[in-house]
Structure 1
Amino acid sequence: MNIPLLLLLLLATTIVVSFCVKSEVILVCVCGVGSSYLLRAVWANPWRIRWKLQAQGINGPKPSLLYGNLWEMKKIQASAALKNTAKHDDDFVAHDYTATLFPYFEEWRKQYGPIYTYSTGNKQHLYINDPELVKEMNQCISSELGKPSYITKRLAPMLGNGILRSNGHLWAQQRKIVAPEFFMDKVKGMVGLMLESAESLTTKWANIDVVEVRAEEDLRSVSADVISKACFGSSYLKGKQIFSKLRTLQKAISNQSFLFGSHAFGLASTVQKSKIEVLEKEIDTLIWEAVEERERDWHEGENKDLLQLILEGAANNDVDKDSSRRFIVDNCKNIYFAGHESTAVAASWCLMLLALHPPWQARIRAEMAEVGALNADSLPKLKTVTMVIQEVLRLYPPAAFVSREALHDARIGHILVPRGVCLWTLIPTLHRDADIWGPDANDFNPDRFANGISKACKLPQVYIPFGLGPRLCLGRNFALTQLKILVAVIVSNFTLALSPNYRHSPAYTMIVEPGQGVHLLIQRYAT
């Protein structure tokens, strides 16, 4: 095994390390050019931060000198994968995938409780799944907590420096442009487009008796069509290459274990890195071509969609041409990805669970018969559809985590979080806590939401399918409205059943999606 470069540097120098714990001073004297910086960055700083957390009573697994808890995480993950392979197919009814996808979090939570610390290479992390502290995180201002820099750096080919990745002033500026386009009054104006796209899917499925479909593929096309028309003034066909390449790039980045790879030494393979760079350039070029086409075709007096507002925001930035182009392309990539991928995945889980529970299909059809024609005014009357969607998002929230980095020393409840610490809240764990949701926390039971979120559980602040705090998902209204329309239209027209080919295998590829697709048997519903 090759000895890491840092270890060679340390062995080749004379190191004198003196710790003065009470005064929180670490004196490092190293003979050798560059060694002092490396020692501080990789060893001294993480251990100093860890000591500050331990002094507040926060414990966790013991890290190794250079790699923290990475080897232990990989060992736990490998063991969980073996156990999952041996499971019976019917086990998926429990819907609890956290111990399979994130087994180290679950193992450490059982050992250390809902608050603990661990490290990956030179990064110190704080796991927080205590409901009261989650509530405190919700109230932290954006200048204190931002998106973790090491993760967003790895996601840069996918998201650039757009709204999903940026922090500080740039994030606030982008939010000012994007957020108003997803306010409920604007989303109501998109209902017609959403209905049109959903009905195109039912038309595609209409000329069949009983057939097996890969639902997630068709749902991605519908969701992509909606975001293209609503935000960019184009159809899915025009953006098809963009969506296809974004999906390929998403998989390529996810294959690198971008969440918990070694931050000190983790390097993507040359082939994989080259593939990602090529995809990034191709996507940027395609988006810019679409932008230029839009600039040529747009006329004064037309209603401004999101793309036009992004163009104006870039023009008002008072920056050079290259920076302006980067601003436009990066935000388009963010909206193309976030605007369709998470909604399509959530819709896929909806259809899977409805196929598994036919009585809820019947309840939705009965509700639709009472409501009549779908439009912006009738959507709020879809109580049953709303309950189903809320329960699906409880069991299968597309975003598995709330992840933040302390941009400054921050206080969350009784904890002083040192600058540089990354915070993690595992959403599906909060959503399945039997003490909060009751003994049926792992079961599909939309009736729990019959009287709204506030009555569905003991602590409603732990229901966070769209994240929390100032970084709450801007597209929440858009996603919920589209989900209501998709579920209502599809269930009104078809009966759904799981195909024998369906294999329940949730997978984490930036979001939690059906790893082997959603194979459904659909049949035209005869009224």
Structure 2
Amino acid sequence: MEDHSLKAIMAISFSFLVLFVLIKLVHIMWWRPKSIERILRKQGIKGTSYRPLRGDKPEMDKSFKDSPSSKPIALNDLVVPRLIPFYHNMVKRYGKVSMCWFGSIPRLIIGEAELIRLIFEDNKGGIVHRPVSPLVKLLHKGLTTLEGEQWSQRRRLITPAFHLDKLKGMVPAFSSSCYNLIERWQKQVEPQGWREIDVAPELEALASDAIARTAFGSNYQEGKHLFELQKEQTLLALEAYNSIYVPGMRFMPTGKNKRRYQLYDQIKGLLQNMIQQREDATRRGELGGGLDLLGLLLQSKEQSENDVTIEDVIEECKLFFFAGQETTATLLTWTMICLSMHPNWQEKARQEVLHIWGTKIPDYATINRLKIISMILHEVMRLFPPVPIFIRYTTRETKLRNLLIPAGSELCLSVMHAHYDTDYWGDDAHEFKPERFCEGVSKASKGQVTFYAFGWGPRICVGQAFAMIEAKIAVATILQHFSVQLSPSYTHAPHLRINLKPLYGAPIILRRI
């Protein structure tokens, strides 16, 4: 009798468990998405209708696959339809605020500059970075991935490393990296005085060398293995980021998962070794911590007692390598392409450099006098933003202006649409016109905040001053020694992968001045 009762109880319990799971699945896969869709449509938000499980993911993938991203375009063709075709079509069809679906997650495409600003400025904790799979976090768990008080503490730790007095001490390292590049190019252009060179990998090496020197006081050759490992890990992380994560997927022993964890262990081991060598040298009194990022982070770690661990230092070093090297190299590459396409601006910039420095080594004291180069760099970042799209996520119901966004929604901030918006930049928004920035960023777009190359608000890129100083010195040094001209073999094919890059490189004809 008791056995029958126990079996009956177990059967009922199992039935309730199955029923609970089914109800939960229906809630996640149908009721909740449809409820959010109704809320958004009542507010006048247009877009695609929800379809269980897949949402618009197949169409997103197909739009990128069908996009002629591998085909060249004319130098003056629009790049937005080419780089983000799905989002471009959505904005064109449904407006600057429209709705689509990433699986069962509602995604609002925000192409309106004012709303983008409000989202960036949110500091109430309701809008956070998009939750990502643990496979993406293998790339790094640095400052940009943190939220709340943990982010605030880490930001306070990192910020002193980018104060102007610290950046001033890094200028010699920037200059050394630049002059190594100049010497290499001078040898290549001899004896005829000119040569065609693909500057994309050259500028990537320059940015890597500068990061290595300013992060670890080492040179590019010593850090080269680390850069290559991180580049491979970045591609794997990007693939995971753009996929719908299935819980438990990280434990599957697939070939890519195995490689992800191998890279994670190798990168961590290299950084642990660098940190151990630095700490040993400091204890022996062989150096005083130095002005490089690692020295400053270790100093901050000692001063903050138990708030910061060696693991934290490792993650920030990984982020610095990833963000600093990729974005600066991309900015410099597009700058060389734009200067080659617009020789009048190239000559204006060169005359500014020669007037300020002549043939001397650039110094920190006069960097801010490079007004024309600053205008050029900002215009390049407007046309070719390093990160064309930011993804955010609402943890609770959030009100932005007159828009009420339900919890659990993704916000796709289309920086490219804001940067090409003719309402703010004029009918010539697609043209290269650095004079827009002659009175600074704030007055470049009719007095509105519509320039988001470094993000905006409290989480604006902590390294933006670092990146701009490095880029100014690099451009100024190159213009001191060479004129640049687009090679006939150059193929204009902007391509979005990790950053926005020229798919077929940047072959430039360098001429010695």
Mark yes or no: TM-score above 0.5: yes
C-alpha contact (below 8 Å) 1:212/1:522 kept by paired residues:
yes
The amino acid across from 2:81 in the alignment is A
Q: Equivalents in 1 of 2:156, 2:315: separation in Å?
A: 16
Which of 98, 111, 129 is 1:116 aligned to?
98
Task: Tell me what 1:43 maps to.
Answer: 30
Post-superposition CA distance 1:421-452 (Å, at most 9, x none): 11111112111112211121111111222222
Task: Tell me what 1:3 maps to.
Answer: none
Which of 162, 165, 172 is 2:145 aligned to?
165
Which of 389, 409, 414 is 1:426 aligned to?
414
Any idea what SS the aligned residue of 2:330 has? Answer: helix
Q: Does 1:138 align with 2:125?
A: no
Any idea what SS the aligned residue of 2:273 has? Answer: helix
Task: Tell me what 1:71 maps to.
Answer: 58
Task: Tell me what 1:437 maps to.
Answer: 425
Q: Equivalents in 2 of 1:304, 1:494: separation in Å?
A: 31
The amino acid across from 2:445 in the alignment is C
Task: Tell me what 1:285 maps to.
Answer: 269
Any idea what SS the aligned residue of 1:68 has? Answer: coil
Q: Equivalents in 2 of 1:154, 1:106: separation in Å?
A: 29
Shift of 1:168: 1.9
Post-superposition CA distance 1:254-308 (Å, at most 9, x none): 3x2623x234589699222222222222111111111111111123744454323
- Counterparts of 1:3-402 in structure 2, within 5 Å, are 31-32=18-19, 34-81=21-68, 89=72, 91-94=74-77, 96-141=78-123, 143-150=125-132, 153-159=134-140, 161-207=141-187, 208=189, 209-254=193-238, 256=239, 258-259=241-242, 261-263=243-245, 270-298=254-282, 299=285, 301-303=288-290, 305-314=292-301, 316=304, 318=306, 324-372=309-357, 373=360, 374-402=362-390
Structure 1 residue runs without a partner (length 5+):
1-28
TM-score, normalized by length of structure 1? 0.86
Shift of 1:45: 2.6
Change (3 A) 1:233 1:357: same
Q: Equivalents in 1 of 2:245, 2:355: separation in Å?
A: 56
The amino acid across from 2:329 in the alignment is A
The amino acid across from 2:332 in the alignment is A
Shift of 1:454: 3.0
Aligned residues: 485
Any idea what SS the aligned residue of 2:61 has? Answer: helix
C-alpha contact (below 8 Å) 1:431/1:462 kept by paired residues:
yes
C-alpha contact (below 8 Å) 1:249/1:279 kept by paired residues:
yes
Q: Equivalents in 1 of 2:73, 2:116: separation in Å?
A: 33
The amino acid across from 2:205 in the alignment is S
Any idea what SS the aligned residue of 1:67 has? Answer: coil
Q: Equivalents in 2 of 1:45, 1:508: separation in Å?
A: 33
Task: Tell me what 1:25 maps to.
Answer: none
C-alpha contact (below 8 Å) 2:139/2:230 kept by paired residues:
yes
Any idea what SS the aligned residue of 1:92 has? Answer: coil
The amino acid across from 2:116 in the alignment is V
C-alpha contact (below 8 Å) 1:42/1:122 kept by paired residues:
yes
Any idea what SS the aligned residue of 2:59 has? Answer: helix
Change (3 A) 1:65 1:266: farther
C-alpha contact (below 8 Å) 1:453/1:460 kept by paired residues:
no
Post-superposition CA distance 1:48-104 (Å, at most 9, x none): 3233222322221112112111122233333323xx56x6x452323x322122111
Shift of 1:459: 4.5
Q: Equivalents in 2 of 1:147, 1:317: separation in Å?
A: 28
Post-superposition CA distance 1:367-404 (Å, at most 9, x none): 11211242111111111111111110110111112321
The amino acid across from 1:173 in the alignment is Q
Q: Equivalents in 2 of 1:30, 1:141: separation in Å?
A: 40
Identity among equivalent pairs (%): 28
The amino acid across from 2:467 in the alignment is A
Any idea what SS the aligned residue of 2:326 has? Answer: helix
The amino acid across from 1:331 in the alignment is E
TM-score, normalized by length of structure 2? 0.88
The amino acid across from 1:239 in the alignment is G
